[in-house]
Amino acid sequence: MNFDFTTEQEILRKTVRQFVDDEIMPHIAKWDAAGSFDTSIWSRLAELGLMGVCVPEKYGGSGMDYNALAIVCEELERGDTAFRTAVSVHIGLNSMTLMQWGTEAQKQQYLVPQAKGVRIGAFGLTEPGAGSDVAAMTTTAIRDGDCYVLNGQKTWISLCDIADHFIVFAYTDKAKKHHGISAFIVERSMVGFTSKAIKGKYGIRAGNTGELFFEDLRIPVENRLGEEGEGFKIAMSALDNGRFTVAAGAVGLIQACLEASVKYCHERETFGKPIGEHQLVGQMIAKMEAGYQMSRLLVYRVGELKNKGIRNTRETSLAKWQACDFANKAADDALQIHGAYGYSDDYPVARYLRNSKAPVIYEGTREIHTIMQADYVLGRRNDKPLAKMLPKWPFDE
Ligand SMILES: Cc1cc2nc3c(=O)[nH]c(=O)nc-3n(C[C@H](O)[C@H](O)[C@H](O)COP(=O)(O)OP(=O)(O)OC[C@H]3O[C@@H](n4cnc5c(N)ncnc54)[C@H](O)[C@@H]3O)c2cc1C
């Protein structure tokens, strides 16, 4: 067991941190208020090789290991959750799903350009009537010659107006329930596709989230990902990767809460001393630190399992659940430490608190992860290796 980062990973951390300090921090309050961020950030992320960080070099990526992705997510969310969410869907939910399930032709057509940052990928699973209960979806893809005809709607989809293509899930055979769901690569340019952003979000305001509509949209058969009926399995394996990035990002959010709170603890005085010297304030800082350290251990353990090609659904669920809960609590305490000033735009902690809530909801709510963990421990759930696993690291180039 080795808890040290490699030299390459340390350089990556410093690079992303510098990028966040220089190019995100100075603008984020403005972007959060405006409800969008400067899209030139995408090309800067691509220049730094961050759009394909754990994608093999032969597919246009940087070829770094899965923990490198965790480092990127941690550092980006220290800046703002919107950027980590973008990387979560582009890499965690889309690129890694193509790495795991895509044909060689699909990898060449979609994975290569998105690892280089030339195209952006996203992920459409949730519907107005189907969130935690995925099988309640009503979107259908009916085979017609060498196409499928897609009809339906998705909602709460990150990068809905920005992504060039989406991995979308639909019933090809409703009677088979979970086994009747299939996955497809749907391009924005396909006739019958429209999207619409959701306005007035509680948090992650700089990020783009919204609805996708499919009306008699014809998808070529070669855009089906995996076999007919494998969609549910593909969606769940995609979440194993997406949740890993969400958990890593939560570690970065706790770090941001700690930085802001420690600074304020030294600056603000009450009853003749800095507030950090009051035991009850110190207790909040100590709990943040504990959450930070515990979450990091859980996250990087998952990265190691991925590097070794070992199925990690259980460990990923635990890391995601705990890290997001810790981050939500850390953000609440960070605002508390700032008193009334925290309740304003003068400090970043109100944004941290708003941003910390969605990760407790998306990619499996707190309650769904609690149920999963109880099921594992009580013997009601037991995972077998999937037919197709992510490639082990180092990648066989
Ligand atoms: C900012 C943001 C970005 C998102 N991005 C994406 C995206 O890119 N792609 C995508 O597909 N989706 C995305 N989502 C959607 C997200 O994954 C869903 O919101 C999530 O799966 C929960 O579904 P729901 O909102 O329909 O809640 P519901 O499933 O309706 O749950 C409502 C409440 O009931 C609880 N509950 C449900 N079932 C049970 C149960 N069996 N036992 C106990 N409690 C239960 C839940 O925990 C929750 O508290 C995003 C959401 C947000 C907020």
- Same-domain status, 125 and 113: no
Other beta carbons within 10 Å of 387: 10
- Same-domain status, 372 and 245: yes
Q: Is position 389 within any domain?
A: no
CA–centroid distance, residue 216 to ligand 1 (Å):
27
User: Which tokens is 324 given?
Assistant: 């997001």
- Same-domain status, 206 and 321: no
CA–centroid distance, residue 388 to ligand 1 (Å):
26
What confidence score (pLDDT) does residue 123 get?
99
Residues with CB under 6 A from ligand 1: 89, 122-126, 131-132, 156-158, 204, 209, 358, 361-363, 365, 367-368, 371
Question: Is the predicted pLDDT of residue 384 greater than 80, yes or no?
Answer: yes
Q: Is position 89 within any domain?
A: yes
Strands 181-187 and 224-225: antiparallel
Q: Is position 383 within any domain?
A: no
Other beta carbons within 10 Å of 143: 14
pLDDT digits (tens, 9 = 90+) for 268-299: 999 999 999 999 999 999 999 999 999 999 99
What confidence score (pLDDT) does residue 2 get?
82
Residue that is last in its domain, among 198, 229, 260: 229
Share of the chain above pLDDT 70, in %: 100
Q: Structural domain of residue 96, as residue ranges?
A: 5-119
CA–centroid distance, residue 80 to ligand 1 (Å):
21
Question: Is the predicted pLDDT of residue 397 greater than 80, yes or no?
Answer: no
- Same-domain status, 143 and 133: yes
Residue 113 pLDDT class (50, 70, 90 cuts): very high
pLDDT digits (tens, 9 = 90+) for 143-153: 999 999 999 99
Average pLDDT along the chain: 97
- Structurally, the chain folds into a number of domains equal to 3
For the residues 156-164, what does the mean pLDDT come to?
98
Residue 387 pLDDT class (50, 70, 90 cuts): confident
- Same-domain status, 194 and 134: yes
Cis bond leading into 394, ω under 30°?
A: yes
pLDDT digits (tens, 9 = 90+) for 248-262: 999 999 999 999 999
For the residues 213-231, what does the mean pLDDT come to?
98
- Same-domain status, 223 and 153: yes
Question: Is the predicted pLDDT of residue 214 greater than 80, yes or no?
Answer: yes
Q: Is position 103 within any domain?
A: yes
Q: What is the CATH number of the domain that holds 275?
A: 1.20.140.10
User: Which tokens is 358 given?
Assistant: 């969605």
Q: Classify residue 216 as left (phi > 0), alpha (psi -120 to 50) or beta.
A: left
pLDDT digits (tens, 9 = 90+) for 59-75: 999 999 999 999 999 99
For the residues 357-378, what does the mean pLDDT come to?
98
CA–centroid distance, residue 215 to ligand 1 (Å):
24
Question: Is the predicted pLDDT of residue 3 greater than 90, yes or no?
Answer: no
Helix (H), strand (E), coil (C) string for the chain:
CCCCCCHHHHHHHHHHHHHHHHHHCCCHHHHHHHCCCCCHHHHHHHHCCHHHCCCCHHHCCCCCCHHHHHHHHHHHHHHCHHHHHHHHHHHHHHHHHHHHHCCHHHHHHHHHHHHCCCCCEEEECCECCECCCHHHCCCEEEEECCEEEEEEEEEEEECCCCCCEEEEEEECCHHHHHHHEEEEEEECCCCCEEEEECCCCCCCCCCCEEEEEEEEEEEEHHHEECCCCCHHHHHHHHHHHHHHHHHHHHHHHHHHHHHHHHHHHHHCEECCEEHHHCHHHHHHHHHHHHHHHHHHHHHHHHHHHHHCCCCCHHHHHHHHHHHHHHHHHHHHHHHHHCHHHHCCCCCCHHHHHHHHHHHHHCCCCHHHHHHHHHHHHCCCCCCCCCCCCCCCCCCCC
What confidence score (pLDDT) does residue 61 get?
98
- Same-domain status, 76 and 65: yes
- Same-domain status, 112 and 22: yes
Q: Which residue has the tokens 């919204």?
A: 210
Ligand 1 atom closest to 366 (CA) = 47
Question: Is the predicted pLDDT of residue 352 greater than 90, yes or no?
Answer: yes
What confidence score (pLDDT) does residue 339 get?
98
Residue that is last in its domain, among 53, 88, 119: 119
List CB contacts of 51: < 8 A, sequence separation 6 or more: 42, 45, 90, 91, 114, 115, 116, 117
For the residues 349-377, what does the mean pLDDT come to?
98
> Do residues 184 and 97 make contact, with C-beta atoms less than 8 angstroms apart?
no
Which residue type, as a one-letter code, is found at position 259? E
Question: Is the predicted pLDDT of residue 43 greater than 90, yes or no?
Answer: yes
What confidence score (pLDDT) does residue 65 get?
98
Other beta carbons within 10 Å of 114: 26
pTM reported for the whole predicted model: 0.98
Q: What is the CATH number of the domain that holds 222?
A: 2.40.110.10
Residue 383 pLDDT class (50, 70, 90 cuts): very high
pLDDT digits (tens, 9 = 90+) for 309-322: 999 999 999 999 99
Question: Is the predicted pLDDT of residue 308 greater than 80, yes or no?
Answer: yes
Q: What is the CATH number of the domain that holds 89?
A: 1.10.540.10
What confidence score (pLDDT) does residue 183 get?
99
- Same-domain status, 246 and 194: no
Residue 391 pLDDT class (50, 70, 90 cuts): very high
Q: Is position 392 within any domain?
A: no
Lowest mean pLDDT among 32-36, 301-305, 383-387: 383-387
For the residues 16-40, what does the mean pLDDT come to?
96
Task: Give, using CA atoms, the residue closest to atom 44 of ligand 1.
Answer: 367
Q: Is position 384 within any domain?
A: no
- Same-domain status, 316 and 197: no
- Same-domain status, 50 and 76: yes
Ligand 1 atom closest to 371 (CA) = 42
Residue that is last in its domain, among 119, 134, 165: 119
Which residues carry out catalysis?
363
Share of the chain above pLDDT 90, in %: 98
Q: Is position 394 within any domain?
A: no
What confidence score (pLDDT) does residue 366 get?
98
Q: Is position 27 within any domain?
A: yes
Task: Give, using CA atoms, the residue closest to atom 6 of ligand 1.
Answer: 157
Question: Is the predicted pLDDT of residue 300 greater than 90, yes or no?
Answer: yes
Question: Is the predicted pLDDT of residue 1 greater than 80, yes or no?
Answer: no
- Same-domain status, 61 and 189: no
